[in-house]
């Protein structure tokens, strides 16, 4: 999805170029890593429920498979663009590298709006997407997963299509599957919980007791819901959450200054993570403009909706109380805004570290599928916590030792690992 005038791929390249320069990478490695290894763009023709035909545009980008099979989600969104998918594929490469799991980076998408599609139509899009690139996907090549507006139901349709075509059972083809059909316990919670494991560690580093903190969240989908839930369980007070209102076609911020009760908020939220405005009003929430989430006097901001949300304009709205920005979403902060955050010494937990819990758990899901033996939820979440905590501390240590910004430190670790892999393979 791209906002007019904003090109996420250019931003991803800009971030890469700056770190490549700092690391002194040779030109061939830079040329290799600043573009995807491969990308596919294709049509998915569907017979709609009313008998008419519509053609949907599908994408899959494999940025790098130097460290293992490409890995990354599939988004369904009406404003999906190839450049967004490219950027996200590249960020997946850095994400799998920074948490040190043996996978590469990929991403996919379909230009469509599930709000206006029946389940049957969505199933046909899923199956059509797989049919178009079946030869280039697989447990040992490229492993998709859910992302914005795709769920375990979409994943199982895709798996079923793949297994029908190949004639084998291959649950490791895709992750984010339903439980009992190769899914892993803890996967639903993984990204949001992972965000909060890193916030917990950041608060320890800053010497702040979580019980004395407040937070504001953008978005209330998969990532934000579990992040908010764990945050309040750990003793924090969430005071504001924003979400998209499909009726009014705008975002709304819902605020409760004395603290949001997760169970109450989830009970008035639909499956797209959209909060019901009139029910929220009945429950005593203040209704504020969509942009208000960022202007709250809180300790922690959690952008967990879209890219390009903290930019040169909105960064000015961030209150001096904010100490941590935990990037649940991919690409929420632009390089211009980063400069301001750096100057203000706000502790930013960069997206590809902060939200890496999802892909880490996806990796655990694949491992369990390969063993055909499944762990308990506690085992999964304990392993997840260990991975996230250790990745966070590696980045923090480098940031402190070299006196660099957290995002730069995370990039330095990730890009060095991928650069080393392409060198060892003899690609450049
Ligand atoms: P989701 O579709 O479950 O939820 C998206 C949320 O954002 C919804 O609450 C929606 O109402 C809200 N939203 C949409 N437009 C908005 C706007 N303009 N202003 C405010 N809120 C808006 O998506 P998700 O899976 O929670 O993903 C959120 C972000 O996290 C994305 O950037 C995604 O790429 C990233 N991410 C997701 C995962 C995962 O495992 N789900 C993993 C890593 C990163």
Give tens-digit pLDDT for 371-421.
Answer: 999 999 999 999 999 999 999 999 999 999 999 999 999 999 999 999 999
Indicate whether residue 355 lines ligand 1 (CB < 6 A): yes
**Which atom of ligand 1 lies closest to the CA of 224?**
26
Q: Determine the Cα–Cα distance for residues 130 and 112; give it in Å rounded to an integer.
A: 16
Q: Determine the Cα–Cα distance for residues 74 and 195; give it in Å rounded to an integer.
A: 20
Q: What is the pLDDT of residue 3?
A: 52
- Give 29-64 pLDDT, tens digit per residue: 999 999 999 999 999 999 999 999 999 999 999 999
Indicate whether residue 392 lines ligand 1 (CB < 6 A): no
Residues of the chain with pLDDT > 90, as a percent, come to 95
C-alpha 244 to ligand 1 mean position (Å): 10
The residue with tokens 């966070």 is 392
Indicate whether residue 178 lines ligand 1 (CB < 6 A): no
Kindly state the DSSP code that residue 274 receives in the 8-state scheme.
Answer: P
What are 238's two structure tokens? 């969430």
Q: Is the pLDDT of residue 262 over 70?
A: yes
Q: Is the pLDDT of residue 2 over 90?
A: no
Indicate whether residue 276 lines ligand 1 (CB < 6 A): no
Indicate whether residue 332 lines ligand 1 (CB < 6 A): no
Instruction: Give mean pLDDT, residues 161-175.
Output: 96
Indicate whether residue 292 lines ligand 1 (CB < 6 A): no
Instruction: Give mean pLDDT, residues 222-246.
Output: 97
Q: Whose CA is closest to 264, among 223, 232, 300?
A: 232
Q: What is the pLDDT of residue 307?
A: 84
What residues contact residue 231 under an 8 Å CB cut-off, 6+ apart?
196, 199, 210, 215, 238, 300
Tell me the average pLDDT of the chain: 96
Q: Is the pLDDT of residue 1 over 50?
A: no
Query: Out of 95, 107, 177, 323, which one is annotated catalytic?
Result: 107
**Which atom of ligand 1 lies closest to the CA of 95?**
43
Indicate whether residue 269 lines ligand 1 (CB < 6 A): no
SS3 for 325-380, per residue?
EECCCCCCECHHHHHHHHHCCCEEECHHHHCCHHHHHHHHHHHHHHHCCCCCHHHH
C-alpha 224 to ligand 1 mean position (Å): 7
Question: Secondary structure of the chain: what % helix, strand, coil (to 5)?
Answer: 50, 20, 35
The residue with tokens 């800009």 is 14
227, 258 in Cβ contact below 8 A? no
Alpha-carbon radius of gyration of the chain: 20
**Which atom of ligand 1 lies closest to the CA of 250?**
18
Q: What is the CA angle 366-369-373, rounded to 5? A: 130
Q: What is the pLDDT of residue 134?
A: 97
Q: How confident is the model at residue 4 (pLDDT cuts 50, 70, 90)?
A: low
Q: Determine the Cα–Cα distance for residues 1 and 13; give it in Å rounded to an integer.
A: 17
Q: What is the pLDDT of residue 414?
A: 98
Q: What is the pLDDT of residue 5?
A: 72
The residue with tokens 């995002």 is 407
pTM score: 0.92
Mutating to test ligand 1, I would choose from 305, 329, 351, 358 the residue with most ligand atoms within 8 A of its C-beta, which is 305
Q: Is the pLDDT of residue 213 over 90?
A: yes
Instruction: Give mean pLDDT, residues 358-367.
Output: 96
Instruction: Give mean pLDDT, residues 246-259.
Output: 96
Instruction: Give mean pLDDT, residues 172-178.
Output: 95
Q: Is the pLDDT of residue 333 over 90?
A: yes
**Which atom of ligand 1 lies closest to the CA of 190?**
40
* Alpha carbon nearest to ligand 1 atom 28, residue: 305
Is 342 one of the catalytic residues? no
Give the chain's domains with CATH numbers: 37-180 (3.40.50.10860), 188-354 (3.40.50.720)
DSSP β-bridge partners for residue 73: 145
272, 149 in Cβ contact below 8 A? yes
């Amino acid at each position: 999805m791209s906002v007019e005038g904003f090109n996420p791929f250019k931003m991803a390249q800009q971030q890469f170029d700056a770190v490549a320069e700092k690391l002194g990478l040779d030109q061939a490695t830079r040329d290799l890593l600043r573009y995807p290894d491969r990308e596919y763009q294709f049509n998915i023709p569907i017979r709609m429920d009313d008998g008419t035909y519509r053609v949907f545009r599908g994408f899959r980008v494999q940025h790098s498979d130097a460290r293992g099979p490409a890995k990354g989600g599939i988004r369904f969104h009406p404003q999906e663009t190839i450049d967004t998918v490219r950027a996200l594929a590249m960020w997946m490469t850095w994400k799998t590298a920074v948490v040190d799991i043996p996978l590469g980076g990929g991403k996919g998408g379909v230009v469509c709006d599930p709000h206006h599609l029946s389940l049957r139509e969505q199933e046909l899009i899923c199956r059509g997407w797989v049919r178009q690139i079946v030869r280039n996907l697989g447990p040992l090549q490229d492993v998709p997963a859910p992302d914005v507006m795709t769920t375990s139901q979409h994943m199982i349709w895709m798996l079923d299509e793949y297994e029908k075509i190949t004639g084998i059972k291959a649950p490791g083809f895709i992750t984010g599957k339903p439980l009992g059909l190769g899914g892993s316990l803890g996967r639903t919670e993984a990204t949001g919980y992972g965000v909060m494991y890193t916030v917990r560690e950041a608060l320890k580093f800053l010497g702040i007791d979580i019980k004395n903190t407040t937070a504001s969240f953008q978005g209330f989908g998969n990532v934000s819901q579990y992040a908010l839930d764990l945050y309040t369980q750990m003793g924090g007070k969430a005071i504001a959450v924003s979400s998209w209102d499909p009726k009014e076609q705008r975002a709304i911020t819902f605020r409760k200054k004395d603290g949001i009760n997760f169970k109450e908020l989830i009970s008035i939220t639909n499956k797209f993570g959209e909060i019901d405005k009139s029910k929220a009003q009945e429950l005593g929430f203040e209704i504020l403009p969509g942009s208000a989430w960022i202007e709250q006097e809180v300790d922690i901001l959690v952008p967990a909706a879209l890219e390009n949300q903290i930019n040169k304009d909105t960064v000015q709205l961030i209150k001096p109380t904010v100490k941590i920005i935990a990037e649940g979403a991919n690409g929420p902060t632009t390089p211009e805004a980063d400069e301001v955050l750096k100057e203000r010494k706000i502790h930013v937990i960069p997206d590809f570290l902060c939200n890496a819990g999802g892909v880490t758990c996806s990796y655990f899901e694949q491992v369990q599928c390969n063993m055909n033996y499944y762990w308990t939820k506690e085992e999964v979440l304990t392993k997840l916590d260990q991975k996230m905590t250790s990745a966070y501390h590696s980045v923090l240590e480098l940031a402190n030792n070299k006196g660099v910004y957290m995002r730069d430190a995370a990039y330095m670790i990730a890009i060095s690992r991928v650069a080393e892999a392409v060198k060892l393979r003899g690609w450049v």
